[in-house]
Amino acid sequence: MPVTFTQALRDEYQRLFDTCVVRPEKVPEASALTARIVSNRARYETVARKLGMTPWPFVAVIHCMESSLSFTKHLHNGDPLTARTFHVPAGRPLVWNPPNDWESSADDALRMKKVQLITDWSLPALLFRLESYNGLGYRTKHPEVLSPYLWSFSNQYLKGKFVADGAFDPNAVSKQCGAAVLLLTMARGGIITLAQSASATT
């Protein structure tokens, strides 16, 4: 059954974010990642401007999660920009200026997710979009584990991870900084403001 973005879910995301604490030993890594994000802010803003109300931090965090902040990889799935994607989704972008046009490839990846149609970019909606981008398997199949895609490196996540498509290991631990932790680090550093209303994140 599809997950609907209800008021209860909105309240849950807000509560989790408000009580999120970055694990002390992970603070340096989270800070280093956000510094790299800020250094390339102009590139993320270029992509975001073409997608209507999409805030640049959303583009940046997706880039970190999907491509480890590499501008030599497709935003779709981390495949190299030397050719169209070969993993799912394969053959993207359909219209592209290869071999190293990261911006047009990123635009294609986000339009595939219909990001350009989203108008609610409040903090809870932003977190929901990020979790949805990765997939809602934790929420629907293993609700005892908050998605590490959002909460890894924080008090909201301990262990449990999909190690392959459909293969969940309750003892595996994500080694990737979660998207919510990146947003939290940027917000507490005064880099961005996260709106609780339906306005855009800046």
pLDDT at 16 over 60: yes
Task: List pLDDT tens digits, range 44-79.
Answer: 999 999 999 999 999 999 999 999 999 999 999 899
Query: Hey, is 57 helix, strand or coil?
Result: helix
Where do we find the tokens 């879910």? 9
Task: List pLDDT tens digits, range 92-147.
Answer: 999 887 777 999 999 999 999 999 999 999 999 999 999 999 899 999 999 999 99
The residues that bridge with 164 in the sheet, in sequence order, are 167
- Of 54, 30, 22, nearest to 125 (Cα)? 54
Measured at the CA of 141, the angle between CA 64 and CA 124, to 5 degrees, comes to 50
Q: Are 76 and 67 in contact (CB under 8 A)?
A: no
The pTM of the full predicted model, rounded to 2 decimals, is 0.92
Q: Are 8 and 171 in contact (CB under 8 A)?
A: no
Query: Hey, is 192 helix, strand or coil?
Result: coil
